[in-house]
Each structure stands twice: as structure tokens, then as C-alpha cells.
Homo-oligomer: A and B are copies of this chain.
Amino acid sequence: MNLETIKTKSAEGVLFAEIDAPPMNLIGPELVRDFVSLIEHAESDPDIKVVVFRSTDPDFFISHVDVTRVSEYRNEAARLAGELSIGLLFRHLSQSRLISIAQIEGRARGAGSEFVLACDMRFAARGAAVFSQIEAAFGALPGAGGVQHLAPLVGRGRALEIMLSAEDYDADTAERYGWINRALPPLELADFVTALAHRIARFPAAGLAAIKDRVNAACLAPIEDFRRDSDLFGESLRHEEAGRRIRRALEHGFQTRDAELSLAPLLGSLDQ
């Protein structure tokens, strides 16, 4: 594998994939291209049973998509998903025989949240990790699977609150809501995830695959619903008001590290 934005190492059936796309792990064409290569590589290697996703940047897991490069990253996603949609790429991961675990120390907003929702499990650093679906602030809806994952995970009321408010949620609230599996003390998080990954990798592959298949059959939404959300997201961004709000956000620091550390107030003032 020749990856620009993801560092990898593997040990005993577990592939550790560290996202490393400075300045803040935006989802652009490079990161999507590397996700595609990584998933294809791991799926073709029968020795790899589990993939752990984490970030080299303690403040940002994945900030969100780079709003200035939507069509570019969509083109990269199509290489694996067959369609211009990172939602379908992420759903490929949900359906893969690979067991995926997200270890989240920093921010995971927009499609960053949707990426961890597509993973099989999510563990986050208490007091440090931040989750948000930011799309409503621009007049859009989450287009990469957020609706399809959050509705069954957290229920109608909390799913609407999360997506209509575009607010930041800390790890404890995300755990209480069911957005993530568990919030853990930051100093225990990596060891917990590593031990869990290695434990799972010692179990027979056939059973892991059967469990994942049956759970997906029971509660993973049909691909048509992911595709519909992806299409609606694209349409919503073509509205004049969405363009206006994106420009205003960029003028006020959106997609810079400083503003992204605490994004909720900026998102709440784009009508002014």
C-alpha cells in the first residue's frame, strides 16, 4: 500500500490505520483515495480480521468533508462504491467481512461522524472527543449515512435533536444517547481498543462473518436509503442559500483549525 494520508501497521490479525491528513483531517480526494486503497488491501488479505481507525492528530479524528472539493472526493469514492457517494463507500465498510473499530480522541463532525457510524464499533475519549452533524446549519441533511445509522441507534427524538441542532456533543452525552458504544478515560482508550481488537482477531473468521451478516440483516438500512440521502445532500448543496452560508462560514474560519476547535457558535450565526 502506498498511502499519503493514512499510516498503517498490522499485528496478529489487526490492522491499525492512523488518519494523518493535516492540517485537520478534512475528507478530501486524497483521504478518500486512501480509504479505498486501504479497504481493498485489507479485504484481500485473509490474515487481517480487524481494522482499528484512529488519528495522529489528538484534536481531530475527521473534521468533516472539504466543502471546496466535493466532486473530487466523490469521484474517488466511486472507485470502490461504484457510485459518486462517500455514504456508499462507508456502507461498503459496514458490510465488509472486516471488523472495524473507531477509536476517537478528537472531533468527528459531519461525514467524520458518519464514518465512525459506519464502523462496527465506536469508542471515544471522555472529555476530549466531540461529535456533531453540522449539515442543518447549511440547509443540508447528513448525506453519508448519518440518518440511516442515527435513527435506529439513538431513536427518533435524539436523532432529530442531533441533526436539527448541529450542536457539538461530548463523549459522555454521545454514549448516553447511543451514538457511540462507550466513553472511556483518555488514558485507557487505546489499551481498551487494542485489547478488544486482538481478542476478536483470535476468534474464528467464520463466526465473526456470520455474526456481522446477521446483525446487518437485522438492522443495517437498505442501500437505497443511503443512496437517497446522498442524492438529497448533493441537491441541497446546490441551493443558493447553502452556497451563501458556506461562503460566510469559510470567511469566518470554517475549515481552519482554530475555528474548528469550537464550531457550534459559528454554525449558529450563519444567518447574520
Contact = CB atoms under 8 A, between A and B. Distances in A.
A219 B139 CA distance: 22
A185 interface: no
A67 interface: no
A138 B214 CA distance: 17
Interface string A204-235: 10111011101111111100010011001000
A149 B156 contact: yes
Size range of the interface on A?
35 or more
A214 B229 contact: yes
B219 A152 contact: yes
Interface in A134-156: 135-142, 147-149, 151-156
Contact of A152 (B139, B155, B214, B268): B155
Contacts of A203: 136-137, 139, 164, 166, 271
A208 B164 contact: yes
A11 B137 CA distance: 20
Contacts of A206: 139, 236, 239, 241
Number of copies: 3
Interface stretch (A83-91, A194-202, A250-258): A194-202
Contacts of A166: 199, 203
A151 B121 contact: no
A199 B135 contact: no
A176 B177 CA distance: 9
A232 B210 contact: yes
Interface in A93-138: 99, 119-122, 135-138
A200 B214 CA distance: 35
A224 to B, nearest CB: 11
A178 interface: yes
A161 interface: yes
A160 B121 CA distance: 7
Given A136-B207, A158-B178, A166-B199, 14 more contacts: A120-B156, A120-B164, A121-B158, A136-B208, A139-B204, A148-B218, A153-B156, A157-B181, A159-B215, A161-B196, A164-B203, A164-B208, A199-B268, A206-B241
15 contacts: A99-B164, A136-B204, A139-B203, A139-B204, A147-B214, A152-B152, A156-B216, A157-B181, A158-B181, A160-B212, A161-B181, A202-B271, A204-B239, A206-B236, A217-B225
